[in-house]
Amino acid sequence: MNFDLSFLSGYEAIIAIAIGVFLALFGYKLKRVAFVIIWFVIGYYLATLVVPNITSDPTWQKLIPICAGVVLSVFGFSIEKLCIFAVAAFSVATTLIDAFQMTEPIWITLAIAAGVIVGMIAVSFIKPLGIITTALSGGKLIAKYSIIQFPNLLSHYPSFFIILAVSAAIGIIFQFKSCKHLE
């Protein structure tokens, strides 16, 4: 939304949408796998922001984010409560920044603060907020990459919110029904 993802091929967008569907529907049930995926995305995303300041070599610009994603996914697999906090905080902050196209430092700071608050609440209410944040994370991937994959069909701004809301709602309902027996 506010950063360019036009370099992605159709296959990469389809893989991102598939990961989004997985997170939206099965994120809490298979939370450790979901945490690995989400930590990979966090590491990859953060590294793509930093790498252009480090090197201009296109090979390194693709390799470093992948390595950062792998390192964070291995780390994230072993620390569950920190993962829950980070997933909730990152999901809320980046969704607010992307959805409202925030560029001013004050708004970005407020979005990060909202993410941190939701992250602290998520640690207290692991199951319901784990379901909601994994469904929202999956819905965000589906919405963002659907718009990239099908730019002619979904070229206007409100389509992001519609796709996000529908896919996240389906994921939340599905997960609450299928995870009744889990703690």
Query: Which of 13-22, 94-103, 164-173 has the highest average model confidence (pLDDT)?
Result: 164-173
Asked if 23 contacts 37 with a C-beta cutoff of 8 angstroms, the reply is yes
Helices (H), the chain: 10-26, 31-54, 58-78, 80-99, 105-124, 126-149, 158-178
Q: Residue 67: pLDDT above 50?
A: yes
For residues 28-33, average pLDDT:
78
Q: How far is CA 133 from CA 49, 59, 127, 150, in A?
A: 23, 33, 10, 25
Q: Residue 119 — φ and ψ, nearest 5°? A: -60, -40
d(CA 83, CA 28): 12
Percent residues over pLDDT 90 in the chain = 15
